[in-house]
Amino acid sequence: MKKWGILTACILLAGSLLAGCGSKPSTEGSTAAGEQPASGKTIVLGTSADFPPYEFHKMVNGKDQIVGFDIEIAKEIAKDMGAQLEVKDMSFDALLGELSTGRVDFVISGLTPNEERKKQIDFSNNYYKAEQAVVVREADKDKYSTMKALEGASLGIQKGSIQEDIAKTIPGAKITGLGKISDIVLQLNSSRVDASIMEKPVAEAYIKNVKGLVIADAVPDYKEDGYAIGIKKGNTELVNQINKTLDRLKSENKIEQYVAEASDLAAQK
């Protein structure tokens, strides 16, 4: 895509999905959900809101809002606690640090509870599981039909993510680590990188809104336990409270409902 095409795609995408999970301070991009409860209590969520349909920016009724199925889950957690939800948008690789220092109370951002992260923070029970996907330019779809074909390729990857771990296992891969999925998409569309590895729902949301990108036939062989909510180490009370809400949402089949609704919203221009 030529320069003006890239700029146009960026503007269109920014209006519907993107908004910054870059290296800005975590207080930027904050938003509140719901009315102030009688208790006056506030619970602060940390997230990286460029991850549709999990969490992303969207113009709703003329106002930029952070939406997505993770956000709906967070709202239910706050409701069950009788608290107001405050959402802080930040770079994905800053989330664990913000949680550990207490600047946010919990983290929801497509977070996989791997062993390394478990050393730093506590996790709720798992609430969702997704596949991985390889995103490439449409012209290169046949070129990257297997993971072996990615050997030696340049990959745009979100820093601090599970996808970064996957990319490091690919022989000869040249990894460009970026904080925002939106920046990875621009790098890919402008041929600065050959491919990217993303969560499949995230990849599907982006390719619906950016022309020239597709999901390749290559499928990362990565076994994971799914996604969970991050809580500061030792905060057993909050872990139990969040698990109680997750159990309720699962019993009511609400999570699948939230996923479907958020996926539809992400696909809208």
Write out the CATH class of domain 3-128+225-267.
Answer: alpha beta
Residue by residue, pLDDT tens for the chain (269 residues) are: 333 344 444 434 444 443 333 333 333 344 444 444 545 799 999 999 988 889 999 998 899 999 999 999 999 999 999 999 999 999 999 999 999 999 999 999 988 898 889 999 999 999 998 789 999 999 999 999 999 999 999 999 999 888 999 999 999 999 999 988 889 999 999 999 999 999 888 888 888 888 999 999 999 987 766 899 999 999 999 999 999 999 999 999 999 899 889 888 887 76
Question: Do residues 206 and 185 lie in contact, with contact meaning Cβ atoms separated by under 8 Å?
Answer: yes
**Do 3-128+225-267 and 132-215 have matching folds?**
yes
Q: What is the pLDDT of residue 36?
A: 45
- Give, as one character, the DSSP assignment of residue 94: G
CATH of domain 132-215: 3.40.190.10
CA dist., res. 45 & res. 85, Å (int):
7
Q: Which residue has the tokens 């997230």?
A: 47
Edge-first strand listing for the sheet containing 63-67: 50-51, 55-60, 63-67
C-alpha distance from residue 183 to each of 41, 156, 178 (Å)? 36, 9, 7
Q: What is the pLDDT of residue 2?
A: 35
Q: What are the domain boundaries of the chain?
A: 3-128+225-267, 132-215
Q: Is 184 helix (H, G, I), strand (E, B) or coil?
A: helix
Report the 10 Å Cβ neighbour count for 92. 27
HSE value, Cβ hemisphere, 13 Å, CA-based, for 42: 13
What phi-psi label fits residue 234: left (phi over 0), alpha (psi between -120 and 50 degrees) or beta? left
Contact residues for 44 (Cβ-Cβ < 8 A; gap 6+): 86, 87, 88, 103, 104, 105, 106
CA dist., res. 110 & res. 132, Å (int):
12
